[in-house]
Amino acid sequence: MKSSTALKWVTGGLEAFLAIPILGGSIVIGFGYAPLGIMLILHIVTLLFSIREGQKFHGSVWGIVTSCLAWIFLLGWLLHTITAILLFIDAFSSGKNEREFVS
């Protein structure tokens, strides 16, 4: 499994966790919005690995946007949800392409 694929699964899972109503928002606010900064860094790292490995990077770009705008009530939930879905799709399709080359 490529590094970018693993990072997409991890960041997608974290985004999905932050998209849980009330719980995700409580964690973000409770830690002084630090989780958004951490996610921004993770999405940038994932983007760089994806570009370097020639993989799709749409989810990572959405993640960067999400990290910058998620402090806005309800918009944050929507963006976390969309980003998680896109990252999971990117990770799944990247892993699928890797399996096709191995066969």
- For the question of whether the overall pTM of this predicted structure is more than 0.85, the answer is yes
What digits encode the pLDDT tens for the residues 20-58? 999 999 999 999 999 999 999 999 999 999 999 999 999
Domain range summary for the chain, segments of one domain joined by + = 3-89
Start-to-end CA distance of the chain, whole Å, equals 14
What digits encode the pLDDT tens for the residues 55-69? 999 999 999 999 999
Residues of the chain above pLDDT 70, percent: 91
**Cβ 70 vs Cβ 80: under 8 Å:** yes
